[in-house]
Amino acid sequence: MDSLLFNPSWHTKLESLLHTGKAAGADLVEIFLENTDYSSVLAEQDSITSVNPAFGRGAGIRVFHGSHDGFVSTNDLSEKGLNIALEQALGMLGLQIPKTINSKFDGLQDFNDFAIYKNNWLSDCPSLNESSTKLLEATLLLKKKGKHLSVRRSSYSRSWQEVLVAASDGTFNRDVRLHQSIGVNALAQDGEHRASIGRRYGTSGIPEDLTQWIPEKTADEICDSTAVMLYADYVEAGQMPAVLANKFGGVIFHEACGHLLETTQIERGTSPFVDKLNSKIAHHSVTAVDEGFTEGAFGSLSMDDEGMAPQKTILIKDGILKNFLSDRAGELRTGNKRTGSGRRQSHTFAAASRMRNTYIAAGKYSPKELISSVDSGLYCKSMGGGSVGPTGQFNFSVEEGYLIENGKLTKPVKGATLIGEAQDIMPRISMCANDLDLAAGFCGSISGNINVTVGQPHIKVDSITVGGR
């Protein structure tokens, strides 16, 4: 069994802290305890160039009073250290610990352990030698199969986390999380011609994930794509229809729309959808979901970082906005019920409403039908990086693209960028295919960098601005 830190023996210490916080006048007190073990390995060309282990342990204490909250984190898990952190969090709200502790807190519920079957996950993960061998196999395969590859990289990361959440609403829950991610990238160069292609895979709760990964398949995909894109012409800029492939194509919905449906945006009034609940914000073909259930998906969880079990949240149903994603603070300040979406990078962050597995649901068409409906446009087979403004303005590069002419894919093009605003683009997604698929990703926001899943089937956007030459 892995070395675990948290168990029911914490009951007395945590209950005492919660009684103290309530006696000081807090409406709610929440304690988040964390124990982490992280490792990453990087292979460049034919060598392992970086190995980074990291270990962490600490607590985050959050106090709510009225519509305000105070948050303090500490690496000192002793009784004294936790009491100091609580006193500081109370002080942020002008609350003081009374000389006599007398609170209306009813005590913690029975210990609820979501990690009963997860306690061996860390020891079941690949060793450093196994992960290094697998990564070098990938870069060697790129060398054998590819042409003009000036850069070959592969990486592996493993994040193990044990958490315990206790709160004055009675919550007393423990969980263990395991996330593993593999990335492979290649840069092809021949004179002035260049093409960069990458693939990333990620899972949660599957210790044997790396052993199941097939490097040869990934190398084939990357080498085939770089061979095509290396000598591709640059796309001409303009307004045109576009078909976006499934899997990571969903990053645009995640970034440009999903964040605008989190109560962290709603409470600030910065989302264009703040007053659009039960109103039409997208084409009737669009249904969008956020959930934490899909087995093995990068954003799945047994409980969120506030101790709540995940729910399936229908964000958009047939084009109608149905729900927002909410955490404790979001429920307090906006009135939207919690959805099991309170997430944070670590104990050094207060939880905030964040996405989990977020995707546009499958439709009734085949990908071929979407492409054949376009006379002249762009097919985006693979998306690259991009940026998003605070109200949904976005631009995303197309890593691998093809022209659509007379309903058929023709020549490859590079240098394309998709530009738009969420509230303008959502009504233009007129067709969704039947091939929903998901992809792993990382999301940065107010509560740090977290693991998420993006996804969609192939979708058709009737008109979008394409930047190019």
At 335 the three-state DSSP class reads coil
pLDDT band at 385 (very low <50, low <70, confident <90, very high): confident
Q: By mean pLDDT, which of 50-54, 288-292, 381-385 is the weakest?
A: 381-385
Helices (H), 258-308: 263-266
For the stretch 45-68, pLDDT in tens is 999 999 999 999 999 999 999 999
Could you give the CA distance from residue 332 to residue 270 in angstroms, rounded to a whole number?
18
Could you give the CA distance from residue 130 to residue 123 in angstroms, rounded to a whole number?
13
- Kind of pairing between the strands at 193-204 and 172-190: antiparallel
At 138 the three-state DSSP class reads helix
Mean pLDDT of all residues in 388-406 = 92
Could you give the CA distance from residue 177 to residue 166 in angstroms, rounded to a whole number?
17
Q: pLDDT value at position 469?
A: 81
Mean pLDDT of all residues in 175-199 = 96
Q: pLDDT value at position 2?
A: 54
Distances (CA, A) of 426 to 55, 68, 243, 282, 361: 42, 34, 14, 5, 14
* Sequential DSSP letters for 66-114: TTEEEEEEES--SHHHHHHHHHHHHHHTT----SS-----------EET
At 131 the three-state DSSP class reads helix
For the stretch 80-113, pLDDT in tens is 999 999 999 999 999 999 988 888 889 999 999 9
Residue 143 φ/ψ, nearest 5 degrees: -65, -40
Q: Check: CB of residue 98 under 8 Å from CB of residue 23.
A: yes
Could you give the CA distance from residue 275 to residue 321 in angstroms, rounded to a whole number?
10
Q: pLDDT value at position 272?
A: 94
Closest CA to 77 of 60, 63, 89: 60
For residue 26, the 8-state DSSP code is: -
Q: Check: CB of residue 319 under 8 Å from CB of residue 432.
A: no
Per-residue 3-state assignment (H helix, E strand, C coil) for 238-264: EEEEEEECCHHHHHHHHHHCHHHHEHH
CA-based diameter of the chain, in Å? 80
Residue 84's Cβ-count burial label (10 Å; 0-12, 13-18, 19+) is middle
Q: By mean pLDDT, which of 3-12, 105-114, 169-178 is the weakest?
A: 3-12
List the domain boundaries for the chain: 8-229, 233-467
For the stretch 187-196, pLDDT in tens is 999 999 999 9
Mean pLDDT of all residues in 226-238 = 96
Closest CA to 266 of 314, 337, 169: 337
Q: By mean pLDDT, which of 36-45, 104-113, 317-326 is the weakest?
A: 104-113
Residue 1 has pLDDT above 60, yes or no: no
Mean pLDDT, rounded, of the chain: 95
Go through the chain and tell me how many residues it has: 469
Distances (CA, A) of 258 to 126, 252, 289, 380: 34, 9, 10, 20
Fold of 8-229: PmbA/TldD fold (3.30.2290)
Residue 177 has pLDDT above 80, yes or no: yes
For the stretch 122-165, pLDDT in tens is 999 999 999 999 999 999 999 999 999 999 999 999 999 999 99
pLDDT band at 3 (very low <50, low <70, confident <90, very high): low
Q: How many percent of the chain have pLDDT more than 90?
A: 92
Could you give the CA distance from residue 94 to residue 69 in angstroms, rounded to a whole number?
11
pTM score, two decimals? 0.94
For the stretch 431-460, pLDDT in tens is 999 999 999 999 999 999 999 999 999 999
Mean pLDDT of all residues in 410-420 = 96
